[in-house]
Each structure stands twice: as C-alpha cells, then as structure tokens.
Structure 1
Amino acid sequence: MKKVILTALLFLPLSLFAQKFGHFDSSEIVKAMPEYAKSQTEIQNLSKQFEDEIKRMQDELTKKGQEYDRQHDSLPDNVKKRREQELQELYQRIQQTSNDDRDSLQAASANKMREITQKIVNAVKAVGDEGKYVYIMDVTGGIPYISKSLSEDVTKKIREKLGLK
C-alpha cells in the first residue's frame, strides 16, 4: 500500500505539469464565415461605385481635353490659360478622388475584418477556457513549427463555437 501511495505521489507532480496546447487555421474559419462573404460583396460593391465615379470624371476630362484641342488655335491666350488650368484642376481632383477612394476602401475592409477577427478571438478564448488550454496558436500566422502530435487541432471546436459547419 505504501508503494502505491508513494508511486502516486511521485507521478502527481507530472500530471500537474501536463499542459494542453491547441492550434487552429484562421484562414479556413474566416472563409467559412457568412460575414466574410457578405463583407467581400460589400467591398466589391463599394469598389465598383468608386470605379464608376472615377470613370465618369475621366470621361469628363477626356471630353474637355478634346474640346480644348479642337478650339486651341482659335482661342485667345487668356481663355487658353483658363481652360488649361481647368483641365489641370480636374486632373488633380481625379487623382485626389482616386487616393481618397483607395483609403476609404482599405478602411472599410479593415473595419469588416476587425469585426470578423473579434468573433474568432472570442471563440478561441471560449474554447481555450472550456478545454483548459495553455496556448492556442493560429497556424496561418507563419509560426515556424507546431508539433501536431503534441498540439490539438481545435479548428473544428472554434467553428462549432461560431455556429459554422
């Protein structure tokens, strides 16, 4: 009996140090989320709106440029100068609008991904707490090595927490 108790006491500290590690693939989870598909559609629609606006402005610039070219020889110098300035200002507006649209598109995309990422983080925390994991790492993040034999793949559990199939 003493030997059994002594053996149990010897192995007790080892069980106390047993740690659970998990890993998951966030890219797989993100692609399965309906929020991701919806956000991609919204971003594409916004991009299309921006492209249409730029196209309209470029068409206007082309039209005014062609009109200027046709009338160039018959215009007084002060009118030529004014028209050239108008064309230059329109060109600068197109450039500024293009930059603003690009920034708006990036911000909208970042905001939508932030919401999706937060849902995943909450699900990872819940799985970690429930499963008593010490670490849960995302294999998508470029971690140099994860021993899949010593770490449990919790992607499925996270997907279930998010209500994904």
Structure 2
Amino acid sequence: MRVYFITIFFLIFGLNFVHAQRFGYIDTDFILNKMPEYGKAQEEINQLSGAWEKEIQEMAKKIESMYSDLQAEQVLLTDQMKKERTASIQKKEAELKEYQKKVFGFGGLFFLKKQELIKPIQDKVWDAVDKVAKQNNLAIVFDKAGELVMIYTDPRHDYTDFVLDELGLGDPNDKIKN
C-alpha cells in the first residue's frame, strides 16, 4: 500500500522533481583500494585478527587436550575427580566463549580497532564525495560497491574519478571526465 502511494505521488507530483535532480554514482571499494592508508589499515587489522584467531585456536586446543586427558584417565578417576575435571573444562569453555565475544563480538576489540583505523579514512572519502556532489550539482550519489543493486550504470554518471582527484589520488593521464 505504501509503495503504491509513493508511486502515485511521484506520478502526480514528482515527475518534474525527479527530472530536475542530477544523480551520480561512485565505487567506494575502488576508491578505498587506491588509498595507501587504507591498505595499511587493512594490513594492521588482518594482523591483529590473525593473532586473536591464533590465541583462540590455542585455547580451543588446550580444551580439546583436557577432554582427551579426561577420556584417557576416566577409568582411574573417582566420581568426584571426574566432576572436578568436567567443571574445569566447562569453565575453560566458558572463558573461551567470553574471549571470542570480547574480541570478535559486536562492539568487541576487533570492531573497535577496525572503526578506529577505517573511520578516519571513510570520513575523508565522504568529505571528498560531498565536495564533488556540490561541485557537480548532484542531488544523490549512489555507491555501486554498497548493498544497492545497480543493474545498469551509464559511465557518464560515474564520479569515482572526481572523488579520487579530490583525494589527490587521481590519474593525471585520465582525460575522460564528463
């Protein structure tokens, strides 16, 4: 019903509005991959992530070893000793899950570090996009690297090179600007 109302609204009132607007698109993946500081940030994030994953794997191996030891010695242990070992293993498993959540969960160390390193770079790109949009009188700029599915894009409306120029990363030999 809502889509139907919006469609009717644009058909009656919005055709002139829609035609008066200028649209463009950019490819933020392409832009970010051209930025040396983004590559360095990604490398640091990957190193940290790898180190954390290794720690988690080592913790998991230790728990696995504790299980194996319990299985091997089970016939020699009293019921009380079995309960104590099982409780110890369960405690280690809970610690592992808590650590995984602390590192890789929402708002965890990985998320915070990624935000710390990537957000300033993204802000730089958004500022450049804002300048390019204003310079070219664009009402809307889409990101073809995002979740928006763009079935067809006319290269005349691609402002990626303009944003790269604004960031000082443009190709000086590129003469195909609209």
- Fold-level similarity (TM above 0.5): yes
Residue from 33, 41, 44 that aligns with 1:42: 44
Distance 1:22 1:133 in 2: 10
- Report matched runs for 1:70-81 at 5 Å: 70-81=72-83
1:125 aligns with 130
1:12 aligns with none
1:114 aligns with 119
Runs of 4+ aligned residues of structure 1 deviating over 6 Å after TM superposition are none
Distance 1:145 1:75 in 2: 66
Structure 1 residue 71 displacement after superposition: 2.0
1:87 and 2:67 aligned:
no
2:61 aligns with 59
Structure 1 residue 117 displacement after superposition: 1.9
Larger Rg: 1
Do 1:54 and 1:94's aligned partners in 2 also have CA atoms closer than 8 Å?
yes
- Aligned partner of 2:67: which letter? G
CA RMSD of aligned residues (A): 2.7
- Aligned partner of 1:34: which letter? P
Do 1:21 and 1:135's aligned partners in 2 also have CA atoms closer than 8 Å?
yes
Give the TM-score of the pair, scaled to structure 2: 0.68
Instruction: Check 1:84–1:146 CA distance in 2 against 1; reply closer, same or farther (3 A cut).
Output: closer
Do 2:125 and 2:167's aligned partners in 1 also have CA atoms closer than 8 Å?
yes
Distance 1:144 1:22 in 2: 12
Residue from 155, 159, 168 that aligns with 1:163: 168
Unaligned runs of at least 5 residues, structure 2: 1-19, 171-178
Structure 1 residue 143 displacement after superposition: 6.2
Distance 2:77 2:164 in 1: 69
Distance 2:64 2:29 in 1: 44
Do 1:24 and 1:136's aligned partners in 2 also have CA atoms closer than 8 Å?
no
- Aligned partner of 1:83: which letter? R
1:33-83 CA distances to partner (integer Å, 9 max, x unpaired)? 112211221121111111111122122112222222222112222121111
1:83-107 CA distances to partner (integer Å, 9 max, x unpaired)? 1100111112122222222123234
Unaligned runs of at least 5 residues, structure 1: 1-17
SS at match of 1:23: strand
Quote the sequence identity (%): 26
Do 2:133 and 2:141's aligned partners in 1 also have CA atoms closer than 8 Å?
no
- The structure with the greater share of residues assigned to helix is 1
2:28 aligns with 26
